[in-house]
Amino acid sequence: MTRRMPIIILTLCVLAGCVLITGCLQQPTTPDQDTYGCRSSANQTWCPIENRCVIHGVDPCPVSPVTSFKDCEAAGYPVMESYPRQCRGPGGQIFVEDILEQRCNSEGGHWNECSNRCRLDNANRSDIVCPAVCDALCECGGITGFRCPAGSTCRSPAGITDALGYCV
């Protein structure tokens, strides 16, 4: 019994090495399937973002992760005609359109995807260091005279005539 033990251990090590190094237990593929199991005859391709096979031209495969309504719409997922509009993204996740952007632009404001609250609040202050982050804001005031949507007020730095602010 003790003579066979090293042989059994060696055999198990060789099998484990085969699995780990060469993937010998991988699913066999046919000429019609790629390594992920997607079938070219069904017009399927692998989508790494969604970790599944998608049908080219039917199932969208986003180039980058979908994290907002705009990403979802841009990736080609279905947009439902509702108010606000909704987009059904990967895995059935629902993204709702940001109506504030539409209200901001239609009521005289200026929508800025990459504004900075800290910089607007602390304009002309050298003692404040603001982080370099983007805040999606409806901007107001300034020399252009942007206005806030109904029900919002313009917050701008005190003591600066015609300073750009944002709607709150």
Per-residue pLDDT reduced to its tens digit, 85-103: 899 988 889 998 888 888 8
Of 23 and 117, more confident? 117
pLDDT tops 70 at residue 29: no
Q: In 3D, which of 43, 80, 77, 41 has the Cα closest to residue 61? A: 77
The full set of domain ranges for the chain reads: 29-61, 67-97, 100-167
Query: What value does the mean pLDDT of the chain take?
Result: 81
Q: In 3D, which of 86, 61, 64, 91 has the Cα closest to residue 76? A: 61
Kindly report the pTM of this predicted structure: 0.44
pLDDT tops 80 at residue 71: yes
HEC string of 58-96? CCCCCCCCCCCHHHHHHCCCCEECCCCCEEECHHHCEEE
